[in-house]
Structure 1
Amino acid sequence: MKINIGEIIDPTEGRVVVEVDESGKRHARFDLTGLPRVEGLLVGKGAGEALKMTEHLCGICPVAHHLAGMRALDALTSDGAVSDLAEMVRRLLHYGSIVETHSLRFVSVDREAGIALKKFSKLMLVGAGSPGHFPVTARPGGVTSWPAATDLQAVVDGVSAAIDTAERVVAAFGETKKHAPIVSPQILDVALIDAKGNPDVFGTRMRVSRNGEVVEEFGFSEWNEKIAEEIPGSPAPRPYFVPLGQEAGRYRVGPVSQLSIGSLSTVRAKTAQARWLKGARDAAEARAIVTLHVLERTSQLVSELQQRLVETDAETVVASPEPIHAGTATGLVDGPRGILAHTYEVDDSGTITRSIILTPTAQNEPWLADLLTRAAETETTPDGREAALEDSIREADPCLPISSAPPGQMGLKLDIIGAE
C-alpha cells in the first residue's frame, strides 16, 4: 500500500480549533486529524521492509525514523549488541540530521550562517555513509559499511568553522528580544541522557524532569510501561507519564526539554545553555544551542572515528545483517523535534504483528494546545491573535513545513466553536 501524504494533508496549511465553553473560556488545539498513524501499514510486513516504509513516509525526519526503528530491531537480534564503532557511525548520521534540520531555522537571523551549516550537515551525512535524502547507514546489529576516509576528512576539515558559525547563530538569537513562553509549570520535560547523566540526543536512557528537578530515569525497555496514550491510536493520542497520571503526567519533548533536563557536556554549548536557562528559554535559541553542542561533539567524534578505523578490519562491519528473532522491543532517538519511539512486536518468521510509533508531534500536542490556548486567551485582535498562534506553533514545532514559514505566512485556518 502506498500513501501520498499530499493527498491527506496540505503541508502548507494548519488548522487551529478554538472551542469556547459556556463560561466564555477558550480552549485551543492544533488539528492533527489529517496526520495518519502508519502502524497499521506495518503489520504483516517483514521488519526490514516495515522500517523502510516508515523512513520514506516521513520526508522531513527520515534519519530519526531510520535510527529509532533500527534500535528496536537491534534489540531483537541474537545478542542485541551493537559495536562501539558502529554506534559512532550512527551517531555521526544522527548529528548530521539534527544540524541539517535546525540550520533551516537560522536563516531568519543569519542567512549566511544557516546556509553554511546546511552545507556542512551534508558533509556529515555523507561521512556517515548516507549521501542521499533517505538514510542507508544502519542495519540490524551494525552499519552497512565503514565511512570513506576522504569523507571523514572533509568533516574534520570543516567542523571547527561550523562550530564558530553555530556559536554566532546562538549569539544572534540571544540578542533577539523575546518574551518567555508561558506554559503550565506542571509540564514535564522528557529527553535522552548518556551513561553519565548528561543530555544526549543519541543517549541510551530516558530522563523525566520538572522545572529542572529529576522525576525519574529509565531504560528503553520500560518505555511502554512509563509512557501511555490516553487515546491509543489517535493522531493526537495525548501521551502521559504513567506514574503521575493523565493530567499531572503531561510532558513535552524537543530542544527545550533537551536543555532543561541537565547540563550539556561540551564547553561552548554548556556556557550558552547556562545563559538560556536564565533567560526566556525559547525553542528558537534552544535549537541553536543544541546544534552547537552536537557540532562540538562531532569534532571529538570524527577524530576518534578516524583513529579507530585505522586500527579496524573493514570486513568486520559489512557482514550479513543479524537475523531478527521473535519478541517485542522499543527503539528511541532524540531527534530535531524530540523523542521518536518505535515499538515492534515480531513473530518467529520476522514478521511484525504489532507496531506503535509515537512521534514528537504527537507527544507535543498537549503542550502546543496549552500554548495555543494561552495565545487565544490573551490576544483579542485578529492580527495579534494570528501572530501569537504562529509563535506557539513555531515553539512546539509540529513536523509540518508550516513550522518554518515566515511570520504571517503560515496559512492558518482558525475555527472558533461556540459563543464568542
Structure 2
Amino acid sequence: MKINLDEIIDPMEGRIVVTHDSSGHPHARFDLQGLPRVDGMLVGKTALEALKMTEHLCGICPVAHHLAGTRALDALSGLTPLTPAAQLIRRLLHYGSIVEAHSLRFLMQDRDAGVALKRISKKMLVAAGSPGHFPATAVPGGVSVWPATPTLCDLSADLATARDAAERLCDAALASSPEAAGAGDFTGADVALIDDNGAPDVFGTRVRVARNTSAVDEFEFSQWNDRITEEIPGSPAPRPYLRAEGPENGCYRVGPVAQLSVGTLSTPRAATAQARWLAGGRGAAGARAIITLHVLERTEALTQQLTQLLEGADHGELVDPATVRFTAGSGTGLVDGPRGILAHTYTIGADGTIAQARILTPTAQNEPWLAQLLTQASALDQARQAEAWEQSIREADPCLPISSAPAGQMGLKVENV
C-alpha cells in the first residue's frame, strides 16, 4: 500500500490560505491538499483485504476506521444482527479509542488526570482485544476475540478513579470556557449519531441533524449518501453538505461539539455537565471532556453486562473472517469517532471485490466550519490573529498532529493570495 505525494508534508506544520473579496474582506481556509483521498486504494481489493487496509488508513484514528469499515461490511455479510456480546466488545473498543485520543489533550491541562485517562484507555483497548496501536477486534458479522474475565475485572476496578478524573477536567474546562473567535456563531447544522432512544451515542445506529439544538432530521446509515453529498467530489476538501438544503445552506459540522448539540446524554454526570456547557461558551475543549466522562460512565455498566454475558453459555461464537461470504451491493458504516462521524461506503461487485469506495472523514466534513472560524479570526487585529488561528484549529480539530500542539507551536504558515 503506497501513496505518492508531490511534496514533503511536515506533520507539525499547517497552511492557512487567505484570499480577499472585491470589497477587501478576508476569507481564510485550512489547506488539506497534504491529506490525499485514499478511497481509490480500496477499489479492486477483496472485502477482507479492504478491511485490513482500513485499519492502517489513519495512524491517529485507526479504531474509528476499523469499526466504520467493519460496519459497512456487516451489511453485506448476511451476519446481522450481531450478538449482544459482540456489540458490547466493539463498543468497548470504540470507547477506549475515544478516551485515548482525548487524553493526549488533557495532559496539557491536568497531567495527573491525563495520565489516569491514558492508563484506563489502554486497559479498555486491551480488554476489547486490541492491545497494539492498530486494532484487530472486529470482523464482519462479529468479533475475533472474547475478553478474559480477569481483564474486565481489572478494568472495572479503575473506572471510578478515571471517571472522577474526567469529571475534574469537565469542571476545569467549563470554569474557563475558552472559545475560538466566533465559535458560537456557526451558521450550519450539527450532525451526530444517536441511539434507539434518541440520545447522542458515539456508537449509535442512526444519524440526527440538528440546528440550534433542535432536531430537524434523522435517518439510517443506508441513507447517508442520499442525504450527504460533496460539492467537489473526490477532493481532499470536498465541501460536503446536506443535499436537501443545497451547498449554500447545507453546511454542517461533526465532532464533540455536534455530539452535545443533538440531544441529551444518557448518563447522569455527563448530562449535568452538558447542561452547563449548553448554557455557557460551548467550546470544543469542554465538549471533549464531557464526552470522555460520558463514555466512562457507560463503560461501568458495559463491563458488568459483558461479564455476565461471557459467563453464560449463550454469548455466541467468534467469527472467522475467512468463512464470511459477501453479497454484491453497497453497505455504509458509520461511527462517531474522537473528531466526529467517519463514514465508509463500499460497493462490492459480483466478483467479490470492491468496485467503488467512499470515505468521508471528520476533517473533510469540518473543513467548511474551520474555514468559517479562520475567516472570523482573520478579521481581528494582527496582535490577536495568531492566537485566534490556533484556537480555531483546536476547535475544529483536523486529524493532524498540529491540532494538539502546545500554544504558539503549531507551525502555521499563512499564504495571502
Q: TM-score, with normalisation over the residues of structure 2?
A: 0.97
> Structure 2: which amino acid aligns with 1:272?
A
Matches within 5 A, 1:55-134: 55-134=55-134
Deviation, 1:10, is 1.4
Supply the distance in 2 between the matched residues of 1:173 and 1:154 (Cα, whole angstroms). Answer: 29
1:373 aligns with 2:379: no
Moved more, 331-340 or 344-353: 344-353
Moved more, 367-376 or 148-157: 148-157
Supply the distance in 2 between the matched residues of 1:61 and 1:86 (Cα, whole angstroms). Answer: 21
Q: How many residues align?
A: 415
Aligned equivalent of 1:359, options 361, 367, 376: 361
**Which residue of 1 is the match for residue 28 of structure 2?**
28
Deviation, 1:2, is 1.9
1:204 aligns with 2:213: no
- CA RMSD after TM alignment: 1.6
% same residue: 63
Deviation, 1:5, is 8.0
Does the residue aligned with 1:302 lie in a helix, a strand or coil? helix
Supply the distance in 1 between the matched residues of 2:241 and 2:166 (Cα, whole angstroms). Answer: 34
Supply the distance in 2 between the matched residues of 1:62 and 1:200 (Cα, whole angstroms). Answer: 19
Supply the distance in 2 between the matched residues of 1:242 and 1:21 (Cα, whole angstroms). Answer: 27
Unpaired runs of 5+ residues, structure 2, are none
Matches within 5 A, 1:137-152: 137-152=137-152
Deviation, 1:186, is 2.7
TM-aligned CA distance change 1:195 to 1:314, over 3 Å: closer
- Asked whether the 8 Å contact 1:76–1:325 carries over to 2, the reply is yes
Supply the distance in 2 between the matched residues of 1:169 and 1:217 (Cα, whole angstroms). Answer: 32
**Which residue of 1 is the match for residue 12 of structure 2?**
12
Deviation, 1:350, is 1.9
- Asked whether the 8 Å contact 1:266–1:296 carries over to 2, the reply is yes
TM-aligned CA distance change 1:205 to 1:181, over 3 Å: farther
Supply the distance in 2 between the matched residues of 1:252 and 1:314 (Cα, whole angstroms). Answer: 38
> Structure 2: which amino acid aligns with 1:70?
T
Moved more, 216-225 or 148-157: 148-157
Deviation, 1:9, is 2.3
Supply the distance in 2 between the matched residues of 1:91 and 1:314 (Cα, whole angstroms). Answer: 16
**Which residue of 2 is the match for residue 264 of structure 1?**
265
- Asked whether the 8 Å contact 2:82–2:141 carries over to 1, the reply is yes
* Superposed CA offset, 1:198-236 (max 9, x none): 000000000000001111000000000000000000000
Supply the distance in 2 between the matched residues of 1:313 and 1:180 (Cα, whole angstroms). Answer: 50
* Superposed CA offset, 1:352-409 (max 9, x none): 01000000000000000000000001x222x421111000000000000000001100
Supply the distance in 2 between the matched residues of 1:91 and 1:397 (Cα, whole angstroms). Answer: 23
**Which residue of 2 is the match for residue 53 of structure 1?**
53
**Which residue of 2 is the match for residue 249 of structure 1?**
250
- Asked whether the 8 Å contact 1:110–1:172 carries over to 2, the reply is no
**Which residue of 2 is the match for residue 237 of structure 1?**
238
> Structure 1: which amino acid aligns with 2:228?
I
**Which residue of 1 is the match for residue 412 of structure 2?**
412
Moved over 6 A (4+): 4-7
Supply the distance in 1 between the matched residues of 2:8 and 2:86 (Cα, whole angstroms). Answer: 37
Supply the distance in 1 between the matched residues of 2:242 and 2:78 (Cα, whole angstroms). Answer: 31
**Which residue of 2 is the match for residue 168 of structure 1?**
168
> Structure 2: which amino acid aligns with 1:81?
P
**Which residue of 2 is the match for residue 400 of structure 1?**
400
**Which residue of 2 is the match for residue 388 of structure 1?**
388
* Superposed CA offset, 1:234-267 (max 9, x none): 0000000111111111000000000000000000
- Asked whether the 8 Å contact 2:181–2:391 carries over to 1, the reply is no
Supply the distance in 1 between the matched residues of 2:235 and 2:192 (Cα, whole angstroms). Answer: 23
- Asked whether the 8 Å contact 1:180–1:279 carries over to 2, the reply is no
Deviation, 1:318, is 4.1
Does the residue aligned with 2:359 lie in a helix, a strand or coil? strand
